[in-house]
């Protein structure tokens, strides 16, 4: 089984991808993990990716595609996989379609975690993290006992730059402009599964299980 999971930043697709991978014994393939693995291994593709990432630039489509293809070619996934973070653009999707077609394969399901921008903005901008132990909180939904202080180790909590309102808004704009068109691209190419992402992690996972026939 081959699954693609889509969703805006903060929609919870990484969490759901891990849960699905564990339940159905699939490989959880994240482009971020592939990038890091190649960079740490100092592979030729990793060296190229590092040149862009070290400058804060997006890795170009061609290089991203090459990294994913290389990963799939050098690993065997007997039960299939779930793609998290790839493809992000139409050119990436078209190239990946052609790659799968050359192997007489295709995506089985495309999961789309639907969640309003306002909900994501509230969720991410309210998040606080501990830089020492990694604990996470939310100023409304899951606040620390003492404001601004980690319950576990007593370290001051911070708001990550990625979680600041203006940064979140910009990330959402990029998503709508570049990634959301993938929904239209994949409709008709695989079984499209839209799911309400505003519920709890457990509620969203239960909905996905029902859609996947569990």
Instruction: From the candidates 36, 171, 189, 191, give the one annotated as an active-site residue.
Output: 171
Entry pTM? 0.82
Contact 168, 124 (CB under 8 A): yes
Tell whether the model's pLDDT for residue 214 goes beyond 70: no
Within-domain flag for 10: yes
Mean pLDDT, residues 42-55: 89
Within-domain flag for 40: no
Mean pLDDT, residues 180-199: 89
Which residues are 114's β-sheet partners?
A: 196
DSSP states of the chain as a string? -EEEEEE-TTS-HHHHHHHHHHHHT-EEEEHHHHHHHHHHTT-HHHHHHHHHHTTTPPPPHHHHHHHHHHHHHHS--TT-EEEES---SHHHHHHHHHHHHHTT----EEEEEE--HHHHHHHHHTEEEETTT--EEETTTB--SBTTB-TTT-PBEE--GGGSHHHHHHHHHHIIIIITHHHHHHBTTBEEEEEE-SS-HHHHHHHHHHHTT-
Instruction: From the candidates 160, 169, 170, 187, give the one annotated as an active-site residue.
Output: 160
- Whether 123 is a known active-site residue: answer no
Tell whether the model's pLDDT for residue 24 goes beyond 80: yes
Tell whether the model's pLDDT for residue 56 goes beyond 80: no
Question: What is the C-alpha to C-alpha distance for residues 145 and 102, in angstroms, rounded to an integer?
Answer: 56
Domain containing 81 equals 2-26+77-115+172-211
Within-domain flag for 158: no
- Whether 132 is a known active-site residue: answer no
Domain count of the fold of the chain? 1
Mean pLDDT, residues 43-58: 86
Interval 109-144: pLDDT, tens = 999 999 999 999 988 899 999 989 988 899 988 899
Within-domain flag for 58: no
Q: Given this model, what pLDDT does residue 162 score?
A: 82
- Whether 171 is a known active-site residue: answer yes
- Whether 128 is a known active-site residue: answer no
Instruction: From the candidates 2, 123, 127, 128, give the one annotated as an active-site residue.
Output: 127
Instruction: From the candidates 2, 13, 123, 128, give the one annotated as an active-site residue.
Output: 13
% of the chain surpassing 70 pLDDT: 100
CATH code at position 87: 3.40.50.300
- Among 173, 167, 137, which residue's Cα sits nearest to residue 155? 137
Q: Given this model, what pLDDT does residue 108 score?
A: 93
Within-domain flag for 44: no
Interval 159-177: pLDDT, tens = 988 888 888 898 899 888 8
């Amino acid at each position: 089984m081959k699954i693609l999971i889509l969703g805006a930043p903060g929609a919870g697709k990484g969490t759901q991808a891990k849960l699905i991978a564990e339940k159905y014994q699939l490989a959880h393939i994240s482009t971020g993990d592939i990038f890091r693995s190649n960079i740490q291994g100092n592979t030729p593709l990793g060296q190229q990716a590092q040149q862009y990432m070290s400058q804060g630039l997006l890795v170009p489509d061609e290089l991203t595609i090459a990294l994913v293809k290389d990963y799939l070619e050098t690993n065997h996934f007997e039960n299939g996989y779930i793609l998290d973070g790839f493809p992000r653009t139409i050119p990436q999707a078209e190239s990946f379609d052609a790659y799968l077609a050359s192997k007489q394969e295709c995506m089985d399901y495309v999961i789309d975690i639907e969640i309003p921008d306002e909900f994501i903005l509230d969720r991410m901008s309210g998040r606080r993290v501990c830089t020492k132990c990694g604990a996470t909180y939310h100023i409304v939904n899951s606040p620390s006992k003492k404001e601004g202080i980690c319950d576990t180790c007593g370290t001051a909590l911070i708001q990550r730059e990625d979680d600041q309102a203006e940064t979140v808004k910009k990330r959402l704009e990029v998503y709508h402009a570049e990634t959301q068109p993938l929904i239209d691209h994949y409709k008709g190419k695989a079984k499209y599964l839209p799911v309400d992402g505003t519920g709890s992690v457990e509620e969203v996972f239960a909905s996905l299980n029902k859609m996947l026939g569990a």
